[in-house]
Structure 1
Amino acid sequence: MKKIALLPGDGIGPEITKEAVLLMEEVGAVIGETFQFQEGAIGGGAVDRYSTPLPEETIRLCQHSDAILMGAVGGPKWDRLPGHLRPETGLLGIRKVLNVFANLRPVHLFPSLSSSSPLKEERVKGLDLMIVRELTGGIYFGQPKERRTVEGKEVAVDTLTYTEDEIERILHVAFKLARKRKKEVLSVDKANVLESSRLWREKAEQVALAYPDVTLTHMLVDSAAMQLVLKPNTFDVIVTENMFGDILSDLGGALAGSLGMLPSASLSENGPSLYEPVHGSAPDIAGKGIANPVAMFLTVSMMMELSFGFTEVSRWINQAVEEALDEGYRTKDLTVGDEKWVGTEEMGRVIREKFRTLAKGERNG
């Protein structure tokens, strides 16, 4: 039995989490595995119910689970709260508590969605890259983080801090991944300005010595953003610090046609891993039944492979998504012009049916 903590969160989070549970129940029925689900509160909803974005009960639930699946947090309702009560503080907090330092964000353009990308087809054809983002250090966590009054003026302070150990361990993750792909690592920094980036670049050169079969190159983050637009299909593994990875992976979502297509996995060294789609809570469409569940399904796919070793299940989920897209099924965010689209539940149903057919076909074959 696999214990999975569910953190649906805010906005469209509960809708796509519901679809994910139905998918995992389908997986269990096909492969003879039992998934036990237990729900916890996080984000804005947790603030409303418990006056904190990350209740202690949620932390304990996650720590005693085999994996954690999260929806999304945040929304305008909570935007004016003080920093310690913001929904995003709950997200950062659970990442830190679980020490899920390695965030893997694959950016893959399904061929049938080439028209959904804002770039010309020849630029995005074959787009398949992996962004490896350091997740528990950097400016999001550095101290001091505060407001001050200096000479009668309000001043805001955020601190960007990295230790060599934090840098080295995320670099090792990137190089090991690259060995399974095209053996190319691009390290993204801002070494012309930031001291933390200069340390990052030095450590990248040192870690690279342990991987002589992998090619390491460096690029400044502003140049990387430009090149991701000009020639995104030339990238393979990108490794970078927390804030740069946050920004570049959202850019990757646009390249792939929609943020609703991007999954992610946040891995720990010795505890449960956290899985969440890259997109936000999208409060403007919450409750309308039009949210795209594909990123969440692909996130479940990553969980099946990385936490449970169900490699075949992961492949079947990915293939089911691709077949649905190839047959023209689209949620609203994936449409171009007057294309027809289906709602959240219909998209989920179609993909689950295709998963079931694929899985039973191979297992019986």
Structure 2
Amino acid sequence: MPTKQVIVETSLSTYPIHVGRSLGGQLIEEIEGLISNGALVAAVTDSNVREAQAAWFEALGEKVAVFTVPAGETSKSVAHFGEVLDFLAAQKLDRGGVVLAVGGGVVGDLAGYAAASYLRGVRFIQVPTTLLAMVDSSVGGKTGINISAGKNLVGAFHQPIAVYSDIDMLKTMPPREFASGMAEVIKHGMLQDLELFELLEASPIGGPDDERLGSVVEWNCKIKAAVVNADEKETAASGGRALLNLGHTFGHAVENVAGYGQYLHGEAIGIGLVAAAILSERLGFISSTDVERIRKVVSGHRLPTKLNSPLPADKLLSAMRLDKKVKAGVIRFVIMKRIGQAETIESADMAMIEAIWRECGAS
């Protein structure tokens, strides 16, 4: 596929998302250009990506130091954040330096937050290597880490200077990780694009060799970029960037209570999307047929539609109250008025939420 560009425009910056196949050479040219202009460049990745993309890292040469964190959600921690900051300091990065975040959402969030914090902010480039990161976490400038109280409770808005989404990098992904990324694609269709949802409904995207994938990644980036452009820091009184949290109030609770790493992010969101659909139906917006359509699309992309084993409903409810989207003690939910149109609501009857949890396998 020819390389496509999606432009993200925020109040303070404009940058391109490059989507295509075999983008490694183009990215290395940009890095060499930065270095020739005097920038120090340092990369952060994880152990799985370092091994899977060994040839690409070798092509970077010795001019780019690489720091490797353990693969997995547990690397989004205060301890690893400190290690990345120490690494950047050891490389003597100055305010003209550039951080490369080469990996999935964990690396992007961790390295992006380090770039936002080090010297009060240095430039960074997102190089997402998972589908989840390409269609979601690498777009929009949200960075952060987890603490024991919850996911992404510490972080910053810090936009990259560029994003390189190389579809060929997805060929090294395990099928379970690829399926996890499809949860965010399904989410975008559910909240804003019926045509995208119907494409997934007609024929699931099963892997990186699907010829539709490049166009679908570009499509998703455009959806998310449009939302981010309108509400960069999620300050809209209703709707806006908060709509991107469809399924996440439920999904983040699953991750928190089960323990980070038990479910991949997209697996937890798959459950959350079904729960959000049930809530939308209970509130009288969509039909039971719509809920079943959503359940089939989620399961058709090899994602769970309910908990693999029971989790306590009371703990799930408690985790929801700690979610970063809670304002003045009120839980904000994203519901669908119809498939392809979502809105935010201020709280819901918690007895109803508990019943939905039990329908999704909670104890």
For the superposition of Structure 1 and Structure 2, which TM-score range results when normalised by the shorter chain? Answer: under 0.3
Normalised by the length of structure 1, the TM-score is 0.28
Greater relative CO (CA pairs within 8 A, separation 6+): 1
Normalised by the length of structure 2, the TM-score is 0.28
